[in-house]
């Protein structure tokens, strides 16, 4: 089975440009998470969805960041306009909260998108 | 508020030595989950283990073992007979078990296995 798929793997852009990161969760999973990893702040949760509905976006740094999940198999994280301090690795993760033993509450991560804003 | 502390920032050991990575957590919840993830140099985050707060049995998986002690709020990870492929950053994480699956991560321990 395919894992969480993120694209692109690397993104280099100039300050002020719009950046869109994409994520395809594991099929059948009902939770989707966006994390950001930096040297200074470590791994921090930005936002998460349950059944395509945003549940908690308190980690989104500011209005320049937005996330959507139009359907169960796709999510985007958009930064507009981008700034150099947004440079980080962005991870998407998904999980299944269901009745299957062992399946519940384990987040599986994508390979990440390394974003560099010049 | 939840908190996970990994006091060891970096550890280096010679190959075949045993090594233990420490994790201490804080939570007000009586029901919670603890995790370990591995981040190899390639950058992805790999799930290793999940433990719920009601299960204090230690677990062994090959060269890996985990020691969960509720009395000291610790969930330590031991690698026996370490190998170069074990070199990675290891993260301990905590989540509530109320249907809210937010993970709180520690700052990670960078483990280097010296050949």
Q: Is B38 on the interface with A (CB under 8 A)?
A: no
* Cα–Cα distances in angstroms (integers) from residue B9 to residues A99, B22, B43, B108, in the given order: 37, 10, 17, 7
How many Å apart are CA A12 and CA B105, to the nearest integer? 27
Cα–Cα dist B55/B58, whole Å: 9
pLDDT at site B98: 63
Q: Which residues of A touch B97 (CB under 8 A)?
A: 105
User: Is pLDDT above 70 for A1?
Assistant: no
pLDDT tens readout for residues A65-104: 999 999 999 999 999 999 999 999 999 999 987 655 555 6
Task: Check residue B59 and give its pLDDT.
Answer: 84
**B61: confidence class by pLDDT, cuts 50, 70, 90:** confident
Q: Is the pLDDT of residue B20 over 60?
A: yes
What does A48-60 look like in DSSP terms, one character per residue? Answer: EEETTEEEE-TT-
Q: Which B positions 82-111 lie with beta carbon below 8 A of chain A?
A: 91, 95, 97, 99-103, 105-108
Residues of B in contact with A44 (CB under 8 A): 105
Query: pLDDT tens-digit profile of A5-50?
Result: 999 999 999 999 999 999 999 998 989 999 999 999 999 999 999 9
Q: How far apart are CA B67 and CA B76, in angstroms?
A: 5
Give residue B9's pLDDT band: very low, low, confident or very high (50, 70, 90): very high
The pLDDT of B23-52, averaged and rounded, is 92
Question: Residues 8-37, chain B: which have Cβ within 8 Å of A?
Answer: 33, 35, 37
In the predicted structure, residue B16 carries a pLDDT above the cut 60: yes
Q: What's the farthest any 2 CA atoms get from each other in chain A?
A: 46
pLDDT tens-digit readout, A9-20: 999 999 999 999
Measured distance CA(B95)–CA(A56) in Å, rounded: 14
């Amino acid at each position: 089975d395919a894992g969480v798929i993120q694209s692109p793997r690397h993104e280099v852009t100039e300050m002020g440009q719009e950046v869109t990161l994409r994520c395809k969760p594991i099929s059948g999973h009902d939770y989707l998470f966006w994390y950001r990893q930096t040297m200074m702040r470590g791994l921090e949760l930005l936002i998460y969805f349950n059944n395509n509905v945003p549940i908690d976006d308190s980690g989104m740094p500011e209005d320049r960041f937005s996330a959507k999940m139009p359907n169960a198999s796709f999510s985007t994280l958009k930064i507009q306009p981008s700034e150099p301090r947004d440079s980080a690795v962005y991870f998407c993760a998904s999980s299944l909260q269901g009745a299957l033993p062992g399946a519940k509450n384990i987040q599986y991560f994508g390979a990440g998108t390394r974003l560099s804003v010049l | 508020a939840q908190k996970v502390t990994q006091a060891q920032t970096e550890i280096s050991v010679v190959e075949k030595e045993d090594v233990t990575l420490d994790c201490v957590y804080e939570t007000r919840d009586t029901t919670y989950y603890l995790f370990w993830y591995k981040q190899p140099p390639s950058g992805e985050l790999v799930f290793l283990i999940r433990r719920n707060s009601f299960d204090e049995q230690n677990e062994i998986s090959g060269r890996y073992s985990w020691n969960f002690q509720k009395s000291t709020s610790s969930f330590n990870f031991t690698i026996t007979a370490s190998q170069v492929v074990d070199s990675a950053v290891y993260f301990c994480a905590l989540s509530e078990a109320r249907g809210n699956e937010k993970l709180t991560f520690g700052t990670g321990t960078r483990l280097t296995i010296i050949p």
